[in-house]
């Protein structure tokens, strides 16, 4: 077993030196735009919704919140939410190699199913929290809000270490259209089209389609294709009422030749996933201070895996294996929001949700034949919650919440949260504490066949806190923030190959773990068109109880696939007045050494994956300047050339053992936009 010891410090120093070198390149890269960029004329308060479920100035939140704008992500050539999250403090994204490979998010050292992922308020997680980010794209994204820390008070199960919410774009102003196409390394091809416009004050429509496809990184059977359709309609029937319907449909096909150890063994194995997420968010002011809101949500998804024989002679392997899963959620959330004035808001709500799964798997392998039979299960959950946000003094902001959950499977559960923010001169001090939980998955509860589920499982639970400070100088052009956090995870559900008796379940609430860390971020904006953002995260995880066999949770050792040190550095620059001559960005990602498990031996052994640095470059160059908004008939459309280079230095690295990451890749495209 390999364990990082004194090498951790050296690893951190080397990584810091690499980032320092990149910083020097970034400074030279950004310098040409400094003299050209105009000064800011106004600073608008940034508003976030996810932290308290009511529009709140970012400066007034007591939680650790990051906001990524869709415009910023598009300027950096980022096409997936997973790639966007790599630059967020405390977030570590782990992908199994090529596009389409399983992609997990570890936030603040927690499990990969500890983050609630929403699109326009609708959860995408499977029941039990699992979330594969591989197919979640930034197509039609307005912004992404990331709240770090326990958030079950507002979002229920899965929001153990945080919440990621994607808000899609709304139609505003004159009718517009846009289209783009491109291609690059690995046979990559991308297409997108969008139409959007306003229908009056607070009203509008948006419809978009995008496709990305490539041939993959392996020698055979690695093609990938992902189609996404987004649509929304916003209405304001009168001055007191608003409503927004949002729908996202995803259709992804991924061919992969690898087994669980990364061996290239399958000629005809693929996964087909289709999903739809829809929401209706409506509200009406009953009085000038009392608002009633309702959010209706639907998530439906199917995943089919098919493993055909490699050829006529393939009679001993896992040939002719098929599985199909259909997962669904229906939810309704109704709340009354009372605006007391002076930044004080009280929210009382009730939520009801049903979850269902229908699955079946079959293997006719001569070596390991099996038939799990048809599994059809469902459960309901209802909850009541109360949240208050207050500003009792000019420099003080407070919030507190309480939620009572009642689940058909595991009974009642209560979560709570509280936080405070105080401005001491120009420095914001904040702290928060909360509890959270994650329900078992249907498979953990009800699996049959070679695995026996446990209907008596309790939800996994946690308690966590954080404390931070933020300070800005020079009118916000230089800002620093630091956050210290700690969280305890208990009742962790663990799998064992050897239960105590033949009829005992393979799952039980056994393991326990702790996580703590430090998140640092610096933002520098020397001119309106130039910004540099650097972030560093130190994460310490440890298994407190190894449970059954100490494989996934080795007592006293770090948790798997979480690097102790990680960071990123991003510089963006616009050229010419208001960036009309183009823009460019340079991003460096650094991840320190991390532990993984080698299952090619029995028992499995722990190995250390080396640190790596990845450098990405993106640029957009206008070829034809459009005529204003392009709203008038016959207006000249705008044409721009986009270029992106991923892994510019062509480094070899792995985020998962035996699944090498993509090498250097080039992407070139054309974007055309205009008005009707």
pLDDT in tens, 516-571: 999 999 999 998 889 999 999 999 999 999 887 677 888 999 999 999 999 999 99
What span, in angstroms and rounded, lies between the C-alpha atoms of 33 and 21? 20
At residue 320 the predicted structure's pLDDT band, cuts being 50, 70 and 90, is confident
Give the three-state DSSP class for 59. Answer: helix
| Domain boundaries, given as residue ranges, for the chain | 7-40+47-675
Q: What pLDDT digit, counting tens, does each position of 328-342 carry?
A: 999 999 999 999 988
Spatial CA neighbour of 469 closest among 434, 427, 426: 427
pLDDT at 13: 38
Is residue 543 within 8 Å of residue 555, measured between CB atoms?
yes
Omega before residue 603 within 30° of 0, cis: yes
SS3 435: strand
Burial of 425 (0-12, 13-18, 19+ CB in 10 A): exposed
CA dist., res. 397 & res. 52, Å (int): 12
- Predicted confidence (pLDDT) per residue in 451-465, tens digit: 899 999 999 999 999
CA–CA distance, 628 with 636 (Å, rounded to integer)? 9
Quote the tokens at residue 25.
């390149």
Q: Is the four-CA dihedral 315, 266, 212, 252 of positive or negative sign?
A: positive
Quickly state the pLDDT bin for 505 (edges 50, 70, 90).
very high
The pLDDT of 74-97, averaged and rounded, is 95
Percent of the chain residues past pLDDT 70, beyond the cut: 91
Q: Residue range 49-60: average pLDDT?
A: 94
pLDDT digits over 235-269, tens only?
A: 999 999 999 999 999 999 999 999 989 999 999 99
Element (H, E) at 572: strand 565-574
Query: Pairing relation of β-strands 162-168 and 115-119?
Result: parallel
Are 327 and 354 spatial neighbours (Cβ–Cβ below 8 Å)? no
pLDDT of 8 higher than 50: no
Look at residue 317 in the predicted model and tell me its pLDDT.
60
Question: What does the pLDDT average to over 40-49?
Answer: 63
Distance from C-alpha of 543 to C-alpha of 598, rounded to nearest angstrom: 18
Name residues whose C-beta falls within 8 Å of residue 11's C-beta, 6 or more positions apart in sequence: 4, 565, 592, 593, 611
* Rounded average pLDDT over 637-653: 96
- The per-type count for the chain, helices as H runs and strands as E runs, is 5, 36
In this prediction, residue 633 has a pLDDT band, given cuts at 50, 70 and 90, of very low
How far is the CA of 301 from the CAs of 133, 278, 296, in angstroms? Answer: 14, 12, 17
What contacts 393, CB < 8 A, 6 or more positions away? none
Identify the band that residue 283 occupies on the pLDDT scale cut at 50, 70 and 90. very high
pLDDT band for position 112 (50/70/90)?
very high
State the pTM of this model: 0.91
Q: Which residues contact 21 (CB under 8 A, 6 or more apart)?
A: none
User: Is the pLDDT assigned to residue 52 strictly greater than 70?
Assistant: yes
Q: How many CB atoms lie within 10 A of CB 309?
A: 18
Q: Given a cut of 70, is residue 43 above it in pLDDT?
A: no
Whether 35 shows a pLDDT value over 70: the answer reads no
Residues 78, 81, 85, 86, Cα dihedral to 10°: -50
Residues shown for the chain: 676
> Does pLDDT of 228 surpass 80?
yes
The pLDDT tens digits for 206-217 are: 999 999 999 999
pLDDT above 90 as % of the chain? 78
- How far apart CA 645 and CA 145 sit, in angstroms, is 26
Instruction: Report the alpha-carbon distance of residue 631 to residue 639 in Å, rounded.
Output: 16
Residue 636 pLDDT: 79
What are 407-422's pLDDT values in tens digits? 999 999 999 999 999 9
Sign of CA dihedral 126, 132, 138, 143: positive
- Residue 14: pLDDT band (50, 70, 90) is very low
Report the C-alpha gap between 122 and 116 in whole angstroms.
10
Greater confidence (45 vs 562) lies with 562
Q: Residues 640, 583: contact at Cβ < 8 Å? A: no
Of 66, 53, 61, 90, which is closest to residue 147 (Cα–Cα)? 66
State whether the Cα torsion 181-187-188-189 is positive or negative: positive
Which residues sit opposite 194 in a β-bridge?
Answer: 178, 208
Q: Is the pLDDT of residue 26 over 60?
A: no
pLDDT tier at 316, thresholds 50, 70, 90: low
Residue 308's contacts (CB-CB under 8 Å, 6 or more residues apart) are: 267, 268, 269, 319, 320
CATH number for the domain formed by residue range(s) 7-40+47-675: 2.40.170.20
Cα separation, 209 vs 232, in Å, equals 12
Task: Write the pLDDT tens digit of every residue in 128-163.
Answer: 999 999 999 998 999 999 999 999 999 999 999 999
Q: How confident is the model at residue 600 (pLDDT cuts 50, 70, 90)?
A: confident
């Amino acid at each position: 077993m390999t364990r990082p010891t004194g090498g951790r410090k050296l690893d951190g120093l080397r990584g810091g030196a690499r980032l320092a070198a990149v910083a020097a390149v970034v400074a030279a890269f950004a310098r040409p735009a400094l003299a050209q960029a105009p000064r800011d004329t106004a600073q608008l308060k940034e508003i976030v919704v996810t932290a308290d479920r009511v529009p709140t100035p970012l400066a007034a939140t007591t939680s650790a919140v990051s906001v990524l704008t869709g415009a910023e992500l598009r300027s950096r050539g980022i096409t997936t939410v997973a790639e966007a999250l790599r630059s967020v403090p405390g977030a570590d994204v782990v992908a199994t190699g090529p596009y389409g490979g399983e992609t997990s998010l570890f936030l603040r050292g927690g499990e990969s199913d500890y983050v609630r992922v929403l699109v326009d308020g609708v959860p995408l997680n499977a029941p039990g929290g699992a979330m594969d980010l591989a197919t979640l794209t930034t197509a039609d994204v307005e912004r992404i809000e990331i709240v770090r820390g326990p958030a079950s008070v507002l979002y229920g199960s899965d929001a153990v270490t945080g919440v990621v919410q994607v808000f899609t774009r709304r139609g505003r102003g004159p009718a517009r259209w846009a289209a783009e196409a491109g291609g690059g390394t690995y046979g990559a091809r991308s297409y997108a089209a969008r139409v959007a416009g306003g229908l009056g004050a607070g009203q509008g429509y948006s419809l978009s389609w995008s496709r990305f496809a490539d041939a993959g990184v392996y020698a055979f059977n690695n093609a990938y294709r992902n189609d996404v359709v987004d649509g929304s309609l916003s209405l304001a029937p009168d001055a007191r009422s608003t409503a927004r319907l949002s729908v996202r449909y995803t259709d992804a096909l991924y061919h992969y030749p690898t087994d669980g150890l990364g061996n290239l063994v399958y000629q005809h194995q693929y996964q087909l996933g289709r999903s739809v997420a829809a929401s209706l968010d409506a509200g009406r002011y009953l009085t000038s201070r009392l608002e009633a809101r309702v959010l209706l949500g639907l998530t439906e998804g199917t995943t089919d895996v098919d493993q055909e024989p490699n050829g006529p002679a393939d009679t001993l392997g896992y040939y002719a294996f098929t599985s199909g899963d259909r997962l669904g959620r229906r939810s309704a959330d109704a709340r009354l929001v009372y605006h007391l004035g002076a930044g004080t808001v009280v929210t009382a709500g009730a939520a009801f949700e049903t979850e269902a799964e229908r699955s079946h798997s079959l293997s006719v392998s001569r070596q390991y034949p099996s038939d799990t039979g048809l599994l059809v299960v469902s459960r309901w959950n209802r909850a009541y919650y109360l949240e208050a946000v207050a500003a009792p003094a000019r420099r003080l902001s407070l919030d507190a919440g309480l939620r009572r959950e009642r689940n058909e499977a595991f009974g009642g559960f209560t979560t709570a949260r509280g936080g405070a923010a105080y401005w001491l001169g120009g420095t914001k001090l904040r702290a928060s504490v909360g509890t959270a939980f994650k329900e078992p998955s249907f498979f953990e509860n009800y699996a049959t066949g070679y695995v026996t589920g446990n209907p008596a499982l309790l939800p996994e639970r946690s308690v966590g806190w954080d404390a931070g400070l933020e300070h800005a100088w020079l009118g916000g052009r230089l800002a620093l923030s630091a956050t210290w956090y700690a969280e305890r995870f208990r009742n962790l559900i663990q799998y064992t190959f050897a239960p105590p008796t033949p009829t005992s379940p393979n799952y039980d609430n056994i393991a326990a773990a702790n996580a703590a860390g430090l998140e640092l971020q610096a933002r520098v904006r020397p001119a309106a068109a130039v910004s540099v953002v650097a972030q560093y995260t130190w994460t310490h995880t440890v298994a407190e109880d190894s449970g059954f066999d100490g494989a996934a949770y080795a007592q006293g050792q770090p948790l798997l696939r979480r690097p102790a040190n990680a960071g990123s550095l991003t510089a963006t620059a616009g050229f010419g007045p208001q960036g009309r001559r183009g823009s460019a960005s340079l991003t460096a990602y650094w991840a320190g050494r991390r532990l993984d498990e080698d299952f090619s031996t029995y028992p499995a052994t722990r190995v250390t994956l080396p640190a790596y640095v990845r450098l990405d470059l993106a640029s957009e160059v206008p070829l034809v300047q459009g005529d204003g908004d392009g709203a008038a008939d016959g207006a000249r459309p705008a044409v721009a050339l986009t270029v992106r280079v991923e892994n510019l230095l062509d480094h070899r690295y792995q985020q998962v053992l035996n699944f090498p990451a993509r090498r250097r890749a080039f992407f070139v495209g054309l974007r055309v936009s205009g008005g009707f």
